[in-house]
Structure 1
Amino acid sequence: MKRLFFYATLLVSLYSCETKDTSESTSQKNILENLTYSVDTVVVDPGNEIIDLSHGSRFSSISLDEKKFFLYDYSKTAINEIDLKTLELTNVYQFSREGPNSIGFNPPTMQPLSNDRFLFVSSLINVGTYFKSGELEKNLKFNFREIEGLDVDEGGLITNKAHISHDEKHLFALTNPYKTSSDVRLIIIDPEAKTGKSISLPAMISTLKFRVSLNTGKLFMGRGEGVSLNILNNKLFITSSANSDSYVYDYQTDSLRLVEFPHQLVAPSKSGEIKQEVSDENEFKAETAKFIYQTSFDDFLWDKKRQKYFRLGYNLIPQETPELEKKSDVFLFTYDKDLNLLGKKQLDQIDYRLESPFFKDGKLYSYVNVDDELGFAVFTFNF
C-alpha cells in the first residue's frame, strides 16, 4: 500500500525591521523583506524494501534533471533511487567494494551523471564513473606525477573533493589541507590528455586555521571548517563553510573570479586564532568553541524555476551539553544569475540545520527522518 503522508503545514510570515546594509546602494531592495513560507513534511514509500538511514543523508544527491533523489546505502554498497514526483523507491542499484568494478572501501561521495551513470570518489583510493548496473565505465584514478603540467605533488592519488564537469571534459579536485597546509589550490585535469594545472585560492586559505585535532595515541578527535566544490550551470563553485566569499570557475572559458558579498545580517567570515593541536578533551572543546558558534555557510543552491541562487547560513546555539547541540539560527540569502545579493532574511521559526537541501520546481527540499522512514521537509517560499 502506498504510504504518502503530508504533515501539518507551518505557515510563517516574516516582516523585516533590520537596518539596510550601509555597503549597498540605497536603491537596492531586499526581495526577502516580506518573505512568507510554508513547510510540509512528506514521507517516501519504500515498498517492500528497508531504506537504511543510519548515516542520514550524508551520502546523497539528486539527478541532473531534479527528478530523482539518490541515497547511497553504505552497508549494502547500493544506491536507493527515489522518484521525487511519486515519492516512491523505484530502484536499488548494486555496486561492489571489491574486484574490477570496485568503487573503493572508504565511504564514497557520489555525483549523478547523464544517462544513469555516477561518479564515485573514495578518498585516497578511487575515482571513476560507473553505470547503474555497477560496472566500471571509466577509471579516473590519477597520480599527481602522471598529470603533465601539474605543479603540485601531494603523493598518491588525486581524490580530495573530486568532481567532474557536466560535459565530463574536466576533472576537479582540491589540495588536501593535511598535506598542503599553507595554501588551498584548485586542481584542474583534462582526463583524456592527462594534463592539468593548479590555481591558488587565496580567499579560501583562512579556512585552514579553523580546525582542531586531538591525538593521544588512544583517542583521535578532529573538527574543522572546509572548502567545497559544487557544479551549477556549467560553472564550478568553490565555497568555504567559514567564509561567505566564493570563487566561480567557468570551465568553458577557463576563467576564475572571486565574488565578495556585503553581508551585514551575519558576519561575512569567521575570526579568531585557534590552537590546532591540543592534548586533552577539555582543550579540544575550548578551541572548537572559538569557531563553531560563528556563522557557517552552506553551498550555493540553484532554483531553476526562479532562475536565482540561494544559500543558507547558520549560527549554532550553545547548549549546556555540547553533544546535544543541534539548534541553530538559520539565515537565507538569494542572488541573481551574476551572484548579486538580492535578499536576506533570518528564518525565525526554523531552528535546525537543513540536511542535504536542494531545489525542485521552485521549492526547497531538505532530508528528514520521520520515525526511521525517509522523508523531506518541503519549503514553499513566497516573496
Structure 2
Amino acid sequence: MKNHAIIFLSVLCFACGGNETETKMDFSNITFTMDTVVVDAGDEIINLKYGLWSSAMTEDKAFLYLWNMDESTLDKININELRLEEKIKYEIEGPDGVGAFVSWMNMLDNDRILMANFQEMGLFDMKGKKIKTYKLDKEKFIGDSLEDGESFNRKSIITDGGNVIYGLLGNWTNDNLSFAKVNFEDMEIKKYELPGIDELKDYSVALKSGQMMMISTTDKSLQRIGDRIILSNSAYAPIFVFDMKKDSVYQVNYTPQLTAAAKKGGYPKEVDSEKRFKEVMAEINSEINFQAPVWDEVNKRFYRFSYETIPGEITDEPMLESPEQKTISKVFLSIFDEDFNLIGESLVSQMTQIPNSVFVKDGKIWHYVNVDDELGFVRMAFD
C-alpha cells in the first residue's frame, strides 16, 4: 500500500449562512489536513479508464465495487485496508448476463448489487449469479402511467429486499424526468410531484444537425440517507428530500453567501452545429456547479462542494466532456446540519482539482484521484 505524506495544513474561514443563529456550532476557524492514499492492486490492474463512473459502495463505506467493462469483472476494493481484495467475474450474456454495457449500479446490501444496462436491471449476488430481473413494461403495471421508453436512466435506490426501486424515470430522447417508486412485487408505479420544480429552470441543450441528435443536461443525483432519499441537481442549490416513512417529498431552499444560488439560464434549447454546442456547454459549465451533498455519520452533518470552471478554447475534444475535466476557477465547501440548515461555507483555495466521487468515512471527506493510473483518494480531515 502506498500512503502519501500529508500535503498541507490549512485554515478555512467560514462565512455564516442559512439558519446559523439556530446552532451553537462555530465554523469560524476550522483547520484541516489533506493526504493522499493509493489502493494496493497487488499483481492486478484496476481499470480507471472511466474513473469511478460505474461503481457502488457499501453503506458502511468498507467496500467499493468498481465495474471493469473490459474484463467483465466487479473489482472489490477494501477501503479499510486500501487494497484490491478480488475480481468477481460476471457473464455478459445468458441467464446470468449483465449486458454489454453496465450504465449504473447500486448496492441493496453487502451481498447483493443492482446492475443496469439499457434494456433492463438485474439483481446479482457477489458470485456473479443473477437473482432477479427488472423490466419496465407499461402494459404490466398499475398506478401512474409509464411513458414509451421510460426507464431508470440514472443510479436508483433499491429497497425492501429488492422489491422496490426509487429513482428518476425518463428516456434518452428528452430531459423530462419524474421521481417515482416502482413496486415490482405489486407491479405498481407511483410518481411524485416535486414541489417548486416548475420554478427551477431547465438547463438542457440539444444538438440537432442532419441525422445527429445529442442532448446534454445537468447532473441529477439520488442517494439514500437512513429513511430519506436526497435529490440534487448540479444547476441549482435547492434540494428535494423524499421521506420514505411519510411517503412524501419536500424542497429545501438555502441561500449561499459566496456563490450564486443557480446558473443564470437563458441558453438556447437547441443548436445546429458542434461548435455552437461546445460554446454553450462551456458557458454553462463555467457558472456555478453544485455537487451532491454527502453525509457525515460521525458528526451528523452534510457537506456539499460547488465549483466554477474556466472556459477553455473550443477544440476537437469530445463534445460531452464533463465539467470535472475542465480547469477549475474556484471550489467551495458548504456545511449543513442534518435538517439541511446551512451552518457554514468557505472558498477552498488550496484545491487544485474538482473533487470527484466524494464520500465521507469516519468523519473524513474522501474523493477519488488518479495517481499515475492507480486508484487513489484524497482525504480531508477536520481538526
What is the TM-score of this pair, normalised by structure 2?
Answer: 0.89
Kindly provide the amino acid, as one letter, of the partner of residue 366 in structure 2.
Y
> CA shift at 1:240, angstroms?
0.9
Distance (Å, rounded) in 1 between the aligned partners of 2:160 and 2:8: 37
Confirm or deny that 1:369 pairs with 2:364: no
Equivalent residue in structure 2 for 1:216, among 209, 216, 220:
209
Kindly provide the amino acid, as one letter, of the partner of residue 371 in structure 1.
D
Partner of 1:266: 259
Q: Provide closer, same or farther for how the CA distance between residues 29 and 330 of structure 1 changes in structure 2, counting only shifts above 3 A.
A: farther
- Single out whichever of 47-56 and 213-222 deviates more from structure 2: 213-222
Partner of 1:14: 12
Distance (Å, rounded) in 2 between the aligned partners of 1:86 and 1:27: 40
Partner of 1:130: 124
Partner of 2:41: 46
- Single out whichever of 25-34 and 264-273 deviates more from structure 2: 25-34
Distance (Å, rounded) in 2 between the aligned partners of 1:180 and 1:220: 11
> CA shift at 1:246, angstroms?
1.1
Partner of 1:89: 84
Contact 2:113 2:125 in 1 (8 A): yes
3-state SS of the aligned residue for 1:6? strand
Runs of 5+ consecutive residues of structure 1 not aligned to the other structure: none
Partner of 1:352: 353
Contact 1:122 1:159 in 2 (8 A): no
> CA shift at 1:24, angstroms?
5.0
Partner of 2:321: none
Distance (Å, rounded) in 1 between the aligned partners of 2:239 and 2:65: 27
Contact 2:90 2:128 in 1 (8 A): yes
Q: Provide closer, same or farther for how the CA distance between residues 142 and 193 of structure 1 changes in structure 2, counting only shifts above 3 A.
A: same
Spell out the pairing of 1:1-383 with structure 2 (5 A cutoff). Answer: 3-16=1-14, 21=17, 24=19, 31-123=26-118, 125-151=119-145, 153-156=146-149, 158-161=151-154, 162-165=156-159, 168-176=162-170, 178=172, 181=175, 184-201=177-194, 203-204=196-197, 209-217=202-210, 222-320=215-313, 325-382=326-383
Q: Provide closer, same or farther for how the CA distance between residues 54 and 25 of structure 1 changes in structure 2, counting only shifts above 3 A.
A: closer
Q: Provide closer, same or farther for how the CA distance between residues 346 and 226 of structure 1 changes in structure 2, counting only shifts above 3 A.
A: same
- Single out whichever of 341-350 and 206-215 deviates more from structure 2: 206-215
Contact 1:165 1:231 in 2 (8 A): no
Distance (Å, rounded) in 2 between the aligned partners of 1:114 and 1:199: 26
3-state SS of the aligned residue for 2:292? coil
> CA shift at 1:42, angstroms?
0.8
Distance (Å, rounded) in 1 between the aligned partners of 2:194 and 2:172: 16
Kindly provide the amino acid, as one letter, of the partner of residue 44 in structure 1.
V
Q: Provide closer, same or farther for how the CA distance between residues 196 and 220 of structure 1 changes in structure 2, counting only shifts above 3 A.
A: closer
Distance (Å, rounded) in 2 between the aligned partners of 1:190 and 1:74: 30
Kindly provide the amino acid, as one letter, of the partner of residue 245 in structure 1.
P
> CA shift at 1:370, angstroms?
0.9
Contact 2:13 2:346 in 1 (8 A): no
Q: Provide closer, same or farther for how the CA distance between residues 277 and 202 of structure 1 changes in structure 2, counting only shifts above 3 A.
A: farther
Distance (Å, rounded) in 2 between the aligned partners of 1:210 and 1:317: 19
> CA shift at 1:133, angstroms?
0.9
- Single out whichever of 312-321 and 205-214 deviates more from structure 2: 205-214
Kindly provide the amino acid, as one letter, of the partner of residue 30 in structure 2.
L
Aligned length: 374
Distance (Å, rounded) in 1 between the aligned partners of 2:161 and 2:363: 25
Distance (Å, rounded) in 2 between the aligned partners of 1:186 and 1:27: 32
Q: Provide closer, same or farther for how the CA distance between residues 316 and 70 of structure 1 changes in structure 2, counting only shifts above 3 A.
A: same
Distance (Å, rounded) in 1 between the aligned partners of 2:172 and 2:210: 18
Contact 2:194 2:249 in 1 (8 A): no
> CA shift at 1:144, angstroms?
2.8
> CA shift at 1:157, angstroms?
5.5
> CA shift at 1:372, angstroms?
1.0
Contact 1:204 1:227 in 2 (8 A): no
Kindly provide the amino acid, as one letter, of the partner of residue 169 in structure 2.
T
Kindly provide the amino acid, as one letter, of the partner of residue 348 in structure 2.
L
Distance (Å, rounded) in 1 between the aligned partners of 2:138 and 2:232: 23
Q: Provide closer, same or farther for how the CA distance between residues 144 and 271 of structure 1 changes in structure 2, counting only shifts above 3 A.
A: farther
Kindly provide the amino acid, as one letter, of the partner of residue 299 in structure 2.
R
